[in-house]
């Protein structure tokens, strides 16, 4: 079972609340072992795909998104997260006064509850001094967060600030990746994590994603550019255009797109 | 419809049997007012002050602005209840029911841990008071107002009613006429009281009117942090809490006054609070309003000395059936004075919050500065928030800023947190607590924890 989990779309259509269909009859399969990549021009529906996986209530879904052949289309977002799905947002929203560390602490305890034997008492989200971890103490947890923050060259001062509140573009991307590294999901979806990063930051982020993959997390990478893929060689590449999957291939597909663009796929 | 949390989650709604050594008759007339003064064996001058205030109360109309007080019935209240014969300084000497009440609220425990002194008022009288001996040795006075009037009559006379005269408003007149209990604090020159002094106000009886009177004098270069908390049982009939607080901040002194108001939702809370700040003095009001049926309260700073600074940090929460009409006033009367008013309010389940405030800067005070920020958060479509700022700036070189915002709980923020495995309810609590964090971080840790816990309880069941 471990390492072999599967996230799949079976003839899925996704539309907005106002019934504008964005993704049409899509079928896809992501494996935990793989680094999967979804490419496509702007406005093709790539971000909508990530939001549909996480269950953003703004979208309506027809047919099934399955996790290990179990339909999760009707599960609330936090339950999908509990199954092991994680989304690194393209433009994550700021939440003033709710710090990165607080979110990580709360989320870690929620997601790893079974593992660490959390009791049934509700944890106070703000002053959860009653750390419920059995396999890891609160100070070990904080050390772990700081270790990964260091690897990603994140200023540790950011960890106690309101998440994404006044953070730079690069800081936002790194904080999203940091959460994946701490929460260790089964699948992590990165929605254009490479956009707007300089070369050094891009390398740092790519290293982080590789490390996450090594730890056993399935990677789903949404991108416009092959730039990041030279650091993270993909196993499977999908091309999405105008709301449909129009090509599937291996890493060689990336260089074809790089040379000839998306026009070749019609 | 979401379930109403207020009754289920209000931990202090219990009541004890009404035992008392004296209870005035229902309603207010001359004999009731006279009786209070007689019971207390007050000096003639105080009796005169009460008498004049009594006339002013009846001659003044109800406020024509703000929240409607149409349903408030003065005739149905009891204006004076004396619960015990005399005050004690050991918890175990209190009658069992009263001691049990404070144990359940947790006051004796807090006193042991982090307070310099505690005063506990039950109905109309302070029944328990203690202060650390080291403070008394330094000349600090921490007493209830009645004791202060007996033991330091000249000091009380010099300051009583000097910043909030009984003619100020109808409820100040009512308080002045029937006041009982409250705190008196004198901090001598250059004495700094590091741990807070706390007063706790408890209403137990139904249809109770509680009218405590508080006077704080911080002499030059001194510092004191005074904290007050308040709760009451839930009754189907209304109670009234109408306090007057006067604070004198002398040259270079600093006073911080923190309130965590958690009255049950059948209490009218109509309070006048004002501070007079001399040269280089600092006054800080930290005002948390969570409970009550209707609160009208606008802590004020009168900056009368050069470089005086005043601050009002206000948090208000209004749930079903509640109106929180809160804010602050800064009156700049001297050069280089500065003030800041920050208000954060949260309304849900049909609750109403209003920011009402005033900044006045008179001509000739030069580059004085004032900043007002008021942010409102609405949890649902049934709730409402309004802003009523008044700016009266007569000095051209003075700087005054005003920012206001009203926002709803943001769906994108909720989606973000739930995508991290945090459920809707906990996510909502986190966002709300994040919203008030700039003010909560100013509270002593114990109160910050308490306030966050209270907000979290109020949010339970807030997401359907």
Q: Is residue A181 part of a domain?
A: no
- How many independent structural domains does chain A possess? 2
Residues of chain B with pLDDT under 50: 1-8, 463-464
Q: How far is CA A222 from the centre of its chain?
A: 9
With 70 as the cut, is the pLDDT of residue A116 above it?
no
pLDDT in tens, B402-445: 999 998 888 999 999 999 999 998 899 899 989 998 888 888 77
- State residue A200 phi and psi, 5-degree precision: -65, -45
| Inter-chain touch A183–B426, beta carbons under 8 Å | no
Distance (Å, whole) CA A185 – CA B420? 10
Which residues are paired to B249 by β-bridges?
B218, B277
Buried b (16+ CB within 10 A) or exposed e, B277-314: bbbbbbbbbbbbbbbbbbbbbbbbbbbbbbbbbbbbbb
Q: Which member of A56, A87, A110 has the closest CB to residue B422?
A: A110
Under DSSP, is residue B31 helix (H, G, I), strand (E, B) or coil?
helix
pLDDT in tens, B350-391: 999 999 999 999 999 999 999 999 999 999 899 999 999 999
Q: Which member of A96, A103, A122 has the closest CB to residue B420?
A: A103
Q: If you average pLDDT over every residue of chain A, what do you get? A: 89
**pLDDT in the model for residue A260:** 85
Q: Which member of B421, B434, B449 has the closest CB to residue A82?
A: B421
Are residues A191 and A76 part of one domain?
A: yes
CA–CA min distance A108, chain B (Å): 8
- Residues in chain B within 8 Å Cβ distance of A76: 418, 423-424
Closest CA to A163 of B410, B342, B404, B456: B410
Distance (Å, whole) CA B277 – CA B283? 7
Task: Give the β-pairing of B22-23 and B81-82.
Answer: antiparallel
pLDDT confidence tier of residue A264, bands split at 50, 70 and 90: confident
Q: Which member of A95, A102, A122 has the closest CB to residue B416?
A: A95
Distance (Å, whole) CA A127 – CA B59? 51
Are residues A119 and A90 part of one domain?
A: no
Instruction: Calculate mean pLDDT across residues A81-105.
Output: 95
Task: Give the β-pairing of B309-318 and A21-31.
Answer: unpaired
**What is the SS3 assignment for A122-137?**
CCCCCCCCCCCCCCCC
CATH number at residue A218: 3.40.50.300
**pLDDT in the model for residue A122:** 45
Q: If you average pLDDT over every residue of chain B, what do you get? A: 92
- State residue A67 phi and psi, 5-degree precision: -115, 115
Are residues A73 and A110 part of one domain?
A: no
State the best of B9, B412, B416, B421 to mutate against chain A, taking most chain A CBs within 10 Å. B421
**pLDDT in the model for residue A119:** 45
Are residues A64 and A89 part of one domain?
A: yes
pLDDT in tens, A215-259: 999 999 999 888 899 999 999 999 999 999 999 999 999 988 888
**pLDDT in the model for residue A113:** 59
State the best of B375, B412, B419, B460 to mutate against chain A, taking most chain A CBs within 10 Å. B419
Q: Is residue A158 part of a domain?
A: yes
- Say what percent of chain A tops pLDDT 70: 90
The answer to whether A157 faces chain B, any CB pair under 8 Å, is no
Q: What is the pTM of this model?
A: 0.85
Distance (Å, whole) CA B381 – CA B402? 26
Are residues A157 and A115 part of one domain?
A: yes
Token representation of residue A23: 């993704």
Chain A window 71-130: which residues touch B at a Cβ cutoff of 8 Å?
76-78, 80-82, 86-87, 89, 92-93, 95-98, 102-103, 106-107, 110-111, 122, 124-127
Distance (Å, whole) CA B402 – CA B9? 36
Distance (Å, whole) CA B129 – CA A118? 42
| Inter-chain touch A89–B416, beta carbons under 8 Å | yes
- Residues in chain B within 8 Å Cβ distance of A80: 419
pLDDT in tens, B292-306: 999 999 999 999 999
CA–CA min distance A264, chain B (Å): 36
- Give B154's contacts (C-beta < 8 A, 6+ positions apart): none
Give the sign of the dihedral formed by CA B42, CA B44, CA B50, CA B51.
Answer: positive
| Inter-chain touch B422–A183, beta carbons under 8 Å | no
Are residues A233 and A118 part of one domain?
A: no
Are residues A103 and A47 part of one domain?
A: no
**pLDDT in the model for residue A130:** 59
B121 contacts B84 by C-beta, under 8 angstroms: no
The answer to whether A166 faces chain B, any CB pair under 8 Å, is no
Are residues A49 and A29 part of one domain?
A: yes
Under DSSP, is residue A120 helix (H, G, I), strand (E, B) or coil?
coil
State the best of A84, A97, A112, A188 to mutate against chain B, taking most chain B CBs within 10 Å. A97
Residue A120 sits in which domain range? Answer: 96-163
- Residues in chain B within 8 Å Cβ distance of A75: none
Task: Give the β-pairing of B267-277 and B239-241.
Answer: parallel
């Amino acid at each position: 079972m471990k390492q072999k989990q599967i996230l799949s779309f079976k003839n899925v259509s996704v539309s907005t609340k106002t019934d504008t269909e964005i993704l049409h009859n899509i079928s896809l399969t992501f494996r935990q072992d793989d680094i999967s990549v979804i490419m496509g021009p702007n406005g093709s529906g790539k971000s909508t795909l990530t939001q549909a996986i996480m269950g953003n209530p703004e979208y309506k879904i027809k047919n099934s998104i399955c996790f290990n052949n179990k339909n999760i289309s009707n599960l609330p977002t936090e339950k999908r997260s509990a199954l092991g799905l994680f989304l690194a947002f393209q433009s994550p929203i700021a939440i003033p006064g709710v710090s990165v560390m607080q979110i990580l602490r709360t989320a870690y305890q929620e997601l790893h509850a079974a593992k660490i034997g959390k009791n049934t008492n509700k944890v106070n989200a703000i002053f959860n001094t009653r750390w419920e971890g059995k396999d890891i103490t609160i100070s070990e947890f904080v050390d772990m967060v700081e270790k990964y923050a260091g690897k990603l060259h994140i200023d540790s001062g950011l960890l106690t600030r309101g998440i994404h509140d006044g953070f730079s573009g690069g800081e936002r991307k790194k904080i999203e990746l940091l959460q994946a590294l701490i929460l260790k999901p089964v699948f992590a979806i990165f929605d254009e994590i490479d956009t707007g990063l300089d070369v050094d930051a891009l390398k740092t982020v790519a290293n982080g994603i590789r490390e996450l993959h090594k730890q056993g997390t399935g990677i789903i990478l949404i991108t416009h550019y092959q730039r990041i893929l030279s650091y993270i060689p993909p196993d499977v590449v999908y091309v999405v255009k105008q709301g449909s999957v129009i090509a599937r291939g291996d890493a060689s597909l990336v260089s074809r797109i790089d040379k000839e663009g998306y026009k070749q796929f019609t | 419809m979401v379930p109403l949390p207020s009754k289920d989650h209000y931990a202090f709604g219990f009541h004890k049997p009404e035992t008392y050594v004296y209870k005035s008759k229902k309603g207010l007339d001359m004999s009731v007012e006279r009786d209070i003064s007689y019971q207390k064996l007050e000096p003639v001058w105080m009796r005169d002050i009460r008498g004049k205030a009594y006339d002013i109360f009846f001659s003044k109309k109800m406020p024509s602005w703000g929240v409607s007080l149409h349903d408030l019935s003065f005739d149905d209240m009891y204006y004076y209840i004396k619960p015990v014969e005399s005050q004690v300084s050991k918890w175990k000497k209190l009658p069992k029911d009263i001691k049990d009440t404070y144990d359940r609220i947790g006051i004796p425990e807090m006193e042991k841990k982090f307070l310099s002194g505690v005063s506990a008022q039950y109905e109309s009288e302070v029944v328990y008071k203690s202060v650390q001996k080291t403070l008394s040795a330094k000349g600090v006075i921490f007493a209830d107002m009645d004791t202060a009037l007996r033991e330091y009559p000249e000091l009380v006379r010099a300051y009583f009613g000097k910043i909030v005269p009984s003619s100020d408003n109808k409820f100040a007149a009512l308080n002045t006429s029937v006041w009982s209990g409250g705190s008196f604090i004198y901090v001598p020159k250059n004495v700094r009281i590091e741990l807070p002094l706390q007063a706790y106000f408890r209403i137990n009886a139904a249809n109770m009117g509680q009218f405590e009177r508080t006077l704080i004098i911080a002499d030059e270069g001194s510092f004191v942090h005074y904290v007050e908390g308040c709760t009451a049982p839930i009754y189907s009939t209304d109670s009234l809490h109408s306090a007057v607080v006067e604070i004198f901040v002398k040259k270079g002194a600093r006073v911080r006054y923190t309130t965590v108001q958690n009255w049950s939702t059948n209490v009218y809370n109509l309070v006048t609070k004002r501070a007079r700040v001399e040269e280089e003095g600092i006054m800080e009001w930290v005002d948390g309003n969570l409970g009550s049926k209707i609160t009208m309260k606008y802590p004020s700073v009168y900056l009368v000395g050069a470089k005086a600074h005043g601050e009002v940090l206000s948090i208000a929460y209004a749930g079903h059936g509640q109106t929180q009409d809160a804010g602050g006033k800064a009156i700049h009367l001297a050069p280089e004075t500065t003030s800041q008013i920050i208000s954060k309010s949260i309304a849900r389940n049909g609750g109403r919050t209003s920011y009402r405030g005033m900044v006045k800067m008179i001509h000739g005070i030069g580059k004085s500065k004032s900043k007002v920020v008021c942010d409102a958060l609405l949890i649902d479509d049934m709730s409402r928030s309004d802003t009523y700022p008044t700016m009266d700036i007569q000095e051209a070189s003075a700087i005054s800023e005003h920012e206001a915002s009203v926002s709803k709980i943001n769906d994108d923020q909720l989606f973000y947190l739930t995508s991290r495995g945090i459920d809707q309810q906990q996510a909502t609590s986190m966002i709300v607590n994040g919203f008030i964090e700039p003010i909560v971080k100013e509270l002593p840790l114990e109160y910050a924890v308490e306030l966050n816990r209270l907000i979290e309880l109020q949010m339970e069941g807030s997401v359907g």
